[in-house]
Every structure is written in C-alpha cells, then in structure tokens.
A and B are shown apart, each in its own frame.
Chain A
Amino acid sequence: MSDEQLVEVSLTVNGRPVRERVRSDLTLLQFLRGQLGLTGTKEGCRQGECGACTVLVDAKPVNSCILPLLAVAGREVLTIEGLAHDTALDALQKAFVDEGGVQCGFCTPGMLMAAKGLLLSNPTPSEEEIREGLSGNICRCTGYRKIVRAVQVASGQASPVEVVARADHSVIGHKVARRDAPDKVTGRAMYADDLRMPGMLFGKALRSAHAHALIHGIDCRRAEKSPGVVAVLTAADIPGHNRYGVAIADQPALADDKVRCVGDAVALVVAESEEAAAQALPLIEVDYQELPGVFSAEQGLRPDAPCVHGDTNLLQHTKVRKGDSDAAFLEAEEVVEGSFRTQPIEHAYLEPECSVAVTDHAGNLTVWTSTQYVFRDRRQLASVLAMPANSIRVVQMVTGGGFGGKDDVTTEILASLGAVKTGLPVKVRFDRAESMRATTKRHAVAMKVRLGADRDGKLLALEAEVYADKGAYASLGGYVIKKLGLHLSGPYFVPNIKVDTYSVYTNNPPGGAMRGFGVVQAGFAHESLIDMLADRLGLDPWEIRYRNALAPGLSTGTGHVLQTSVGIKATLSEVRDYLDANPLPPSDQTGPGAR
C-alpha cells in the first residue's frame, strides 16, 4: 500500500486521543482490532447482522464491522476495554457476571456495549425497552433471559441473584458466578482470532465450484504470482493420509480425485494478509468435470443414483428390534401414524472457526484453536501431517460456542498445513459464509413412525423408518442417526419396537453432531404421536405421558432396564403443578383455545 492511499484520522478511543495514518477503506472494527490491538470487540459476521462488534460512537451503539473508520473521525469511541472504571467493573459488567449473563462470551462485549448505550440514553428502561435495545445483538448460548435480567439489576430495577450458603459448608448446589466471566465482560478473554504473532501469515481455502465433480487438474501458477502470496497448497502437498473424519476418515483435507459438496476445500492460499489470500483464490484454475448429484436421502437410495463415495450411498443401516411389533400392532386398539420431516440447521455459534498454527525448529507443531476436543484434533492432524502425535500440541483458546459443530476438524488442518509448508505462523479463520458452506449441520431427516396403544392409552408398539441426509461426509452422522433410532420411544416404556434408520450420503453439506444428537428429531416424532394418540383416545396429553413414563424396573428402547435416577415422572408433575398454580393472565385479544 503506497503512502498516497493512506489518510490521517483522529478520534478518541476510550478517552484517549488517537491519531493514525490508515488505509481509507478500513472499517472501525478493523482499525480497533488490527491497528490498536483492541481485540475485545468481536467479529461475528462482518455484515452488521449479529451485533458482536457493537461499540459506542458518541454514546450511541453502532456495528463497527460495517462502519467506515473515516465516518467516525473526530468522534468519541467507547469499546469494551473502556467500560470498566480503572479496575472496578461497570455495574453492567458486574451484573452480567453475577446473574449468569455470560456463557461462551463471544456476544458479550457487543451485548454489553448495546446495553450501555441503552442505559446512557434511558437509565431505567422497561423490560420491553431493554429487549428493543438489545434486539440487534444475537446470543446463541443464554436464551437472553439472564442478559435482560442483568440489565434490570444494573439499572437498579431488580435485585441481584440470591446466593444462599448451605449449612453443611457444601460448595455444591449454590448459584455461583463463573470464573471465566470477568475476562469475558472486559474483553480480556483470548479467542483464537485474537492471537497476533510476528510474521503471521493468513490462509484461505478455495471452495469447490460444484456440489459433485471430478477434478482433472489444478493450476496454481497465476495464484502463486499474485502479490503477497507465499504458497499455494493442493492435495499433492499433504505429507500424510489425505482423509480425516471423527468417525470414519472419508473427508479430504484438500480435494484430490473429486469434490463431493460445495464446501470442499480444493486449494489453500497462504499469504501475507487475508486480503492478498482472497485476491489470489479466483486465479486458481481447476479443471472440473461436473457429475450429477444427489440432494436428498431418498434420492440417494435409488438404484440409479450417482454415488458420493464408493458404490453405495448407504453409510449405515441401524435396526432396533424389541419384542414383536407385528403382533403388538394387531392387538393395538388405536394406532396413529405420521410422516415427519426436519430441516437442516446451522449451529450458528457466534464465534466463527479459527486456528493459528506454528512450528518450531525441532519440528513440533502447536495449534491454538476453537474446538470441542483437542486430543481428537491432534489425532487427525497427526494422520494428515504424518507426524508423531506427541510432536503436536493442540491448545483450546476461549471458544465462542460449539453446540457440536466444533466436534469436527474445521480450520485446524488447513492452518497446520500452511505452517508446516511455510515455517511461519499461519492463521485460518472462516467468515460467516464460509462457516455456513463448509461446516456440519443438524441432519435433515424424514421419519415415518407408527405408534400403537390399547384403549387406556398404554403404549404397545412402535414402528419407524428413518432416512437421514448425511451430506457428503460421515462426520459423526452414523452415530447421530443410530442414537435417533435408539431414542424413538422417548421417555416411555414401549414393549415392542421395530425401527430402521438409514444414513445416506448426498452432495449436501455434511450432517454432524448438533446439540441433541438425533434425539431432537426423535422427540419431534414421538411427542407429536403421543399427542395424536391422546386426541384419538380422548385422554389428557399429560395423563397419557404419565401413564407410560419410564420408571425403575422398566426398559428403554434398547431393552436397558433402568434402576436409578429416572426422573421423568417427577419432571411431568413439576410442570403440571407449576402451570396449575401460575396460569398466564388472559389477554383480551385472545380467543379461546381448543382446550
């Protein structure tokens, strides 16, 4: 960047005057994080949609990720680092800590600044005004309730959470503020993208242009000559086994023979800046031969379906066989049936995936990353890099949510390939669109389920066929769909069960672990059916559940006879008692419900 393209900008940041020569196209967020090293302000989407980057400009909350720096020249910027008064936390920060308003912490700085802006303009906002004021800030962990409560406490409108010490000196069972919360409310918590190292390079992957295609060749020569590019890697640069995966190693780190979904990494550009890497990506020429694809489980099982891997798309068929369901259905006085479909969804943790990798002179590799399991990352790195496991160190940085999506390798292998190739530290981080395109989803499933009962609503039999869209790679999908099948009878005793689940490869983004691990889908089916059964039999939906609920001495869908800690009936009773004692106030716009 030549000097002419730099402009001088003056502003006040956290009470201190700042004057810098900067690129004219910088955003406020890039300036704060990159130039000033104020990494407490987070980047969640780069599109002004999630609010993680919220700072105050002249006491008003703004999304710093889309705000040009030059627009704030001469103005006062307050970031999370400036919120505490010397060492004393601001009342909002303290309330977020004490009330449990902090979990992964990635939305926290932005949420706090939005709340601060609100309280500066309205010191005692109503609950509705608090919600309004925070409506531009997404939190994926807390469900917002404790955040709203924290703002009420900080504004003196609610009393702080009560901590009652137990007589027996026990430290278990009290409400306790988390020890990681103070760092998270002050912007000190270090996430992977907050790491800066001398000489650090940036890696960016070229993603597949097709959902299913053969690769006949990759020409990197133009990309290699692009300004700032240090190396361009393809599958040929992988020292070890070019396949990884949590359950089955079926996913290439960089595509070799073919691409199986649009999220496949085809090549990796390592450059002096993220922009330089991005500019080189379109210069890579890939000779694809497009193949027909499969985009649903049902399609994938057709005899003429193109195969994603090998000669069948069926990854796994799991059978659950308990008792004699055919005979039981003949006896059943009432049978209900439903075809249920669920959608793929995104984990949407607020922190996009990021890793920084570096090698030392002895050939050891260290990877700092956002992950759910460092040892499995190490195992997969060792295999792809052909390195002994004990020469690889994987360190989890503060992680901004996972929900199953960071079970899998995300950026770890790419950053490590770059570091091994160049001998320099390499950071790889996904932006939101790349995260959506390349990482696992909750499985879309189609479930055909029948449930039979006697006249009193006693469950007799369950039968199901489940087809799961596995996407292009196994990830944990076989286990997820198996767990779905094993849980289709829910918390109820069902003596006769016949379930078949099929995990089917397609050219969609891979399905993987996501909070609930198949049981979310199972729950949608069994809970809908048991209500349908209650309707049919004229029974109360609570009553039919209670009558069939598991208890010590009864068996689960896998025939596991439970002995202890079977709290389903207690939870049912608690919910009903609460509803009976605390009816919602009626709304005058509301007509009567069906019941």
Chain B
Amino acid sequence: MKKRGVGYGCMMYAMGYGFGRPDSSSASLEIAEDGTVTVLCGCADIGQGSTEMLALVAAEELGIRPQDVRVLTADTLMTPDAGCTSATRQTYVSGNAVRKAASIVLASLLEVASEMLSVEPAGISLANGVVLYDGEATDLTVPEVANRARSTGRQCTAMGLFNITTPDVDPETNQGDAYATYTFASQAAEVEVDTETGEVKVLRVVAAHDVGRAINPLGVEGQIEGGVAMGVGYALIEKLQLEEGWPLTPSFAEYLLPTVMDVPPVVSIIVEDEEPTGPYGAKGVGEPATIPTAPAIINAIHNAVGIRVFELPATPEVVLGLLREKGTS
C-alpha cells in the first residue's frame, strides 16, 4: 500500500564565519568616460550566481543599467580579496563591498552633476542612466557626467571594504554575539511511502526562505530548488560507503545521486525580512536551501507510516526494516 504524509523542517543558519574569525570582503569599481563600469572583486562564482548579483548591486547603487557593468572576479593579481565563497556570505559581504565602492564613485558623480546642472547635489539622483533632479528626469545622462568627471580629474575609481568580523564567543560556554546575521527557513515535504517496497517518493516540497531581500529572485529560486534536490539525496539516496577507510562507492555507478526522476516539484516562497546591514536588505540563501529538506522528508515518512528514521539515508531497505520492526508491513 502507498501511504502519504507531510513533514516540516525548519532551520536557522548563521551567515559568515563568526566567533572572531576574520571575515571581510573588498572590491574596487571604476566608471569609464562612457559611463560603463568595471567591478573587480575576489568573489568566486562557483555556479551560484554571485557575479550577476555584484553587477546588479553596482548598477542599483549607481543608477545605471546592469548591462553597463562588467565584473572581473577571483584573480589574486587583479582583484581585491573578498574572502571565500562559503558560509552563505558573498551576497552579504561582497554585495556590501561593491555597494560601498559604488557609493564613493556615486558621490563624486553627484557632485559633478550638480555643477553641470547648477543645482544643489542633495536633490540629484541617478536612475537607469539618467540624472534626476527632485525625482524628475533631466536631459543630463550618466555617461555625460562620467565623461566630465574623467576629464576634470575627479574620483572615478574607488575601493570598498566590508568587515563583519565579530567578537569571539566565550571559549568555555560559547556564549556571545557569535555571528553578524542569521537566515531562516521552513520547508514542508509531502511524501508517499510504499509499504511493500519501502520506497519513498517525494511528491512536493514547499520551501519558504527568509533571504532578507532577493537581489535576483530567479537566482534565489535556483538555489532553493538545487538545495532541495541535494536534501532529497541526503535524506534518501546518498552515502559514501567506506570500509577500513576505502571508498566502496568510487564512481557515479555506485555513488548514486538524485536524477531528474527523483526530484519533486518545488514551490519556492521568498520571504523578505530585510536585514538593515545587508546590501539593500539582502542576507543569503545558498546553504540554507538544503538544510531543512532532509528532516522534512524524515518527518513526513513518520507522518505517513509511523516509523522514525534515526540514521540517514532512509533507503528502501532501511524503511522496510523499520516497517517490519513496527509490524505494519
């Protein structure tokens, strides 16, 4: 018989290294005479999409189009150190470093624009490549301002540093303000357990993630969907078998990974409880995406057939064994 169940998984994940470990990012930014921008940042994009995120942050701060921003990353000779792509930190830390660099160049551009328009800088803003005054578009464009700034020797390059190194916690109790900020998530997994085979099919995962602010919601969804898939693997499929230190599963023929057949529909819900110190309120999503999935599935199995899995992964053999123990098979 097939039985259905639903289970919740929730999590808190501290962003950044925490407890006194050095944790900062730096970036530099330059605006050329035609208004195009180059960002240099040590932030390694390993597939999660940080390079696009950095471009969006620079464009937002400078009021230009994202396609006018070019980003060079992760080269020790060319880019400033951004710390590691880990701890779900790059949107928060490098996003802030780029924003800071952009804000210094922006101040310079606003000053030049105010001279060109003969108005007070306070009323000026930039959006979409155009200079606004009191919120109304003027005839002046960002490239024109950049060109004037370059030709009059003004600041067109800047460096931004963002440092979230926290004080260390008490070494005996580990009490203290350990981390800069935290992300939160809740997921529900709905499963179908085949009581004859022990097979667990994940029917759907509903995943709500508090990311502070989604810089690129398409990227956030991609992280959530990928994280859920990895969570399905952790809960049900994956295990590096070891014998006396030797991997018995050295290839993808033996080490099984979730395929497109194993991954359920994922409903991604983005919750934006803005973090005041984040770039435009953003925190991050990379690691949190995968954390609640396995427990949600394990709780859903219990909800469906009343067995509690204490050891991962919950393979059909494990589920069948527990069902037999319970005497319901």
Contacts and interface: CB of A to CB of B under 8 A. Distances in A.
B313 to A, nearest CB: 6
A441 B230 CA distance: 14
A344 B52 CA distance: 33
A131 B174 CA distance: 48
Interface stretch (B28-36, B113-121, B139-147, B233-241): B233-241
Contact of B245 (A137, A261, A375, A432): A261
Interface in A546-565: 549-550, 556, 558-562, 564-565
Contact of A174 (B128, B192, B217, B234): B217
24 contacts: A49-B251, A142-B225, A145-B263, A147-B260, A212-B245, A320-B175, A340-B310, A375-B81, A376-B84, A393-B77, A491-B12, A507-B244, A515-B227, A523-B11, A527-B292, A527-B296, A541-B299, A558-B176, A571-B209, A575-B187, A575-B269, A584-B190, A584-B203, A594-B304
Interface stretch (B57-65, B102-110, B152-160): B57-65
Question: Which has the most chain B C-beta neighbours within 10 Å: A515, A550, A560?
Answer: A515
A587 B214 CA distance: 36
B51 A515 contact: no
A490 B188 contact: no
B294 interface: yes
A40 interface: no
B60 A594 contact: no
A185 B234 CA distance: 29
A371 interface: yes
A574 B269 contact: yes
A437 B247 CA distance: 6
B181 A45 contact: no
Interface in B250-278: 250-253, 255, 257, 259-261, 263, 265-267, 269, 271-276, 278
A172 interface: yes
B10 A490 contact: yes
A584 B202 CA distance: 12
Given A169-B127, A342-B311, A372-B84, 20 more contacts: A137-B259, A143-B230, A145-B225, A172-B213, A340-B311, A348-B252, A394-B76, A402-B46, A407-B86, A483-B18, A486-B14, A509-B247, A523-B291, A532-B308, A556-B14, A565-B274, A566-B210, A579-B6, A594-B3, A594-B304
Interface in B172-189: 172-179, 181-188
Interface of A: 45, 47, 49-50, 100, 103-106, 131-132, 134-148, 161, 168-180, 211-212, 261-262, 293, 295, 318-322, 338-346, 348, 371-376, 378, 392-396, 399-404, 406-407, 432-433, 436-437, 441-442, 479, 482-483, 485-487, 490-491, 506-509, 513, 515-517, 519-520, 523-524, 526-528, 531-532, 541-542, 545, 549-550, 556, 558-562, 564-568, 570-572, 574-576, 578-579, 582, 584, 587, 589-595
Nearest to B79: A374
A76 to B, nearest CB: 27
Contacts of A146: 221-222, 225
Nearest to A347: B230
B226 A587 contact: no
Given A479-B21, A524-B312, A558-B176, A174 B216 contact: yes
Interface string B281-315: 10100110011101110110011111010111100
Contacts of B327: none
Contacts of B207: 575
B148 interface: no
B329 to A, nearest CB: 13
A198 to B, nearest CB: 22
B265 A176 contact: no
Q: Lowest 7 A-B CB distances belong to which pairs?
A: A567-B210, A104-B47, A211-B245, A527-B295, A143-B225, A567-B273, A143-B229
Interface string B45-57: 1111101100111
B228 interface: yes
Contacts of A567: 183-184, 210, 271-273
Given A144-B229, A524-B298, A560-B178, A131 B218 contact: no
B310 A341 contact: yes
B312 A342 contact: yes
Contacts of B71: 179
A441 B22 CA distance: 24
A322 B182 CA distance: 19
Contact of B298 (A392, A400, A487, A528): A528
Nearest to A145: B225
Contact of A491 (B11, B174, B274): B11
Contacts of B52: 176, 178-180
A66 to B, nearest CB: 12
B44 interface: yes
B245 A373 contact: no
Contacts of A376: 84
Interface of B: 1-14, 17-19, 21, 42, 44-49, 51-52, 55-57, 59-60, 63, 65-66, 71, 73-77, 81, 83-87, 127-128, 169, 172-179, 181-188, 190, 192, 203-204, 206-210, 212-219, 221-222, 224-230, 233-234, 238-240, 242, 244-247, 249-253, 255, 257, 259-261, 263, 265-267, 269, 271-276, 278, 280-281, 283, 286-287, 290-292, 294-296, 298-299, 302-306, 308, 310-313
A143 B5 contact: no
A143 B255 contact: no
B3 A437 contact: no
Given A143-B226, A143-B227, A520-B290, A321 B6 contact: no
Contacts of A519: 11-13, 287, 291
A173 B251 contact: no
Contacts of B86: 372-373, 404, 407, 513, 517
B206 A568 contact: no
Given A339-B310, A340-B310, A348 B255 contact: yes
A171 B260 contact: no
Contacts of A50: 252
B306 A320 contact: no
Contact of A100 (B203, B222, B273): B222
B251 A432 contact: yes
A382 B10 CA distance: 42
Given A519-B11, A564-B275, A344 B240 contact: yes
B283 A565 contact: yes
A45 B252 contact: yes
A479 B192 CA distance: 37
B74 A395 contact: yes
B274 A524 contact: no
A262 B246 contact: yes
Contacts of A212: 245
B267 to A, nearest CB: 6
Nearest to A45: B252
Contacts of A343: 238-240, 311-313
Given A103-B222, A142-B225, A406-B46, A591 B2 contact: yes
A171 B245 contact: no
A475 to B, nearest CB: 12
Contacts of B219: 100, 176, 178
Contacts of A545: 8, 10, 186
A541 B271 CA distance: 21
Contacts of A319: 172-174
Contacts of A562: 182
Contacts of A507: 244-245
Nearest to A392: B76
Contact of A345 (B51, B227, B239, B278): B239
Contacts of A575: 8, 186-188, 206-208, 269
Contacts of A345: 233-234, 238-240
A582 B206 CA distance: 10
Contacts of A520: 234, 290-291, 294
Given A295-B245, A483-B14, A594 B305 contact: yes
Contact of B44 (A346, A373, A442, A542): A373
B76 A322 contact: no
